[in-house]
Amino acid sequence: MANSTLIGAKIAFIVVVYILAFVSGILPNVIPWCKKSTNILGIANAFSGGVFIAIALMHILPETSSGYNEYMQSPKELGQNADVDGEESGEPFPLPHTLAFVGYAFILLIDKVIFDTHSLIGDNHQGHVHDPAAELLAENVRAHLNEKLIPRDSHLDPACIRKAELLDEDIRAYLSRNDKFSVRMHYALKHPNSKKDRYSKSFTQELDKLEEPSSDLDRLLLNEEECKETKKSRCSCSLTPVVLMIALSTHAMFEGIATGLVDEVSQVWTYIIAIFLHKWAAAMSLGISMSRNFKDEKCTMYILILIFAFATPLGVLLGMIVEGSSEIAEIIFSSLAAGTFIYIACSEVIVEEFSIPKFKWPKMFAFLFGAGVIASLALLE
C-alpha cells in the first residue's frame, strides 16, 4: 500500500511539475504583470535555496552515509574488505561525501565552464576570446553604471528610483544563468554563421591584397579551404543550441533524480515542495528573460520552455528506475544529487539573489525559514 502511494505521488509530481514549469514559463509572455514580479520570485527562490541546502546536509548525506556504512558492513562486503591476516579493515572510504563533491564539481563544470565558455559561440583567435552574448549583457550593465548612476540626495526622485530598478535588473541579468541562456540561445539561432560573418570583413581585406590565383590548382585549393571553413562553422553552430539546452536542464534533471530515489512517502513531499518553489521561480525567470529576447519568435520560445519543463520529469523517471535496481546505485545517485542541491543553493541561488541590493533581509529570512522547515521535519522523524 505504501509503495503504491509512493509511486502514485511520484507520477502525480511528474505531471504537475511539467505543467507548472511550462505554464510559469509562458506566463510572462501572456501576462505582462508577471515581468514585474522579480522581487517575489527572488524571495521564493531564496526560500527554495534554504530548503535545498538543508535537504542535502540534513537528509541526503546522513542517510546515504548510514546506508553506505551498512552496505560495507554486510557479510559479503566484510569478506571482500578483510585483510590478509583475517582482520577487518578500518573505516570505509567516505564515498557519499566524495560523490557529493563530484556532483558539485560536475554542475560547476556544466554551469560555469561549458555553459559560460566563450568558445561556445565565439572563437579563440590569436588568444583573444569573443562572446557577443556575454558582451551584450555586460554592455547593459556598463551603460547604466556610466550614464544612470543615482545621486545620493535624489533617493525620492521617481526617475532616479526607476533608474535604480533598471540597474538592479541589469545586475540580475548579468548574474542570472537564465538570462545568459536566453541571450546566447537567441544569438545562436539568429546567427548560425556567426563565425563566418565575424571574419568575413577581415577575410575580404586579406583576399583583396592577394593576387588572382595563378593556376587552376590554386583556385581549387582556395575553394576547398572555403568549403572546410563553412562546414566547420555550420557544425559548430548547430551544436550550440543543444549544448545550451543540456547545460540549462542539468540542474532540473538531478532534482528529479533525487525525488525519484526517495523511498518514503513522508520524505517525498519535502522534495516536491522544494522543487515546486524552485521550478516555479526558475521557469518564471526564464520566461521573463526569453520574452525579452524572443519577442518575434514565440514558437521557438515555447519549444525551448517545453524542453526545459521536461527535464525534471525525466529525472524522476530515471530516479525511479535506479531506485529499484541496487542499493549501491541508489547511494551513488543520491550522493551526486546532494552535491547538485548544494550547488543550486550556494553557487546559484545565494550568488544571484543576494547580489541584488534590494530585499536582502526578506530573502535572508526566507532562506533561513526554508532551512528551518527541513530541520523541523528532520527532528520530527
The mean pLDDT value for 34-60 works out to 84
Q: Is 89 inside a domain boundary?
A: no
Q: What pLDDT, in 10s, does the model give residues 80-102?
A: 555 544 455 567 788 999 999 99
Q: How confident is the model at residue 116 (pLDDT cuts 50, 70, 90)?
A: low
pLDDT on residue 364: 93
pLDDT over 60 (residue 148): no
pLDDT over 90 (residue 172): no
Q: How confident is the model at residue 302 (pLDDT cuts 50, 70, 90)?
A: confident
Q: CA–CA separation, 60 vs 262, rounded Å?
A: 10
Q: Residue count of the chain, please give it.
A: 381
Q: CA–CA separation, 165 vs 253, rounded Å?
A: 33
pLDDT on residue 85: 46
Task: Work out the burial of residue 368: count CB atoms within 10 Å of its CB; fewer than 13 is exposed, 13-18 middle, 19 or more buried.
Answer: middle
pLDDT over 60 (residue 288): yes
Q: CA–CA separation, 304 vs 244, rounded Å?
A: 11
pLDDT over 90 (residue 305): no
Q: Is 86 inside a domain boundary?
A: no
The mean pLDDT value for 302-310 works out to 86
The mean pLDDT value for 347-359 works out to 81
Q: 139 versus 49: which is more confidently predicted? A: 49
Range of the domain at 19: 2-80+94-380
Q: Please tell me what DSSP assigns to residue 117.
A: -
Q: Is 64 inside a domain boundary?
A: yes
pLDDT on residue 121: 41
The mean pLDDT value for 153-180 works out to 60
Q: Is 101 inside a domain boundary?
A: yes
Distance of CA 111 to the CA centre of its chain: 6
Q: Is 282 inside a domain boundary?
A: yes
Using alpha carbons, list the distances in angstroms from residue 17 to 12, 116, 278.
8, 27, 11
Q: CA–CA separation, 37 vs 341, rounded Å?
A: 25
pLDDT on residue 61: 92
Q: How confident is the model at residue 336 (pLDDT cuts 50, 70, 90)?
A: very high
Q: What pLDDT, in 10s, does the model give residues 52-73?
A: 999 999 989 998 998 898 888 8
Total number of domains constituting the chain:
1
Contact 182, 290 (CB under 8 A): yes
- Please tell me the number of Cα atoms within 13 Å of 53 on its side-chain side: 20
Phi, psi for residue 237 in degrees, rounded to 5: -70, -30
Phi, psi for residue 312 in degrees, rounded to 5: -65, -45
- H helix intervals, the chain: 2-30, 38-54, 61-72, 75-81, 95-108, 132-147, 158-175, 177-190, 194-209, 216-261, 265-293, 298-323, 327-343, 350-353, 360-380
Q: What pLDDT, in 10s, does the model give residues 68-84?
A: 988 888 766 555 555 54
Q: Is 85 inside a domain boundary?
A: no
pLDDT on residue 201: 46
pLDDT over 90 (residue 374): no
Contact 340, 258 (CB under 8 A): yes
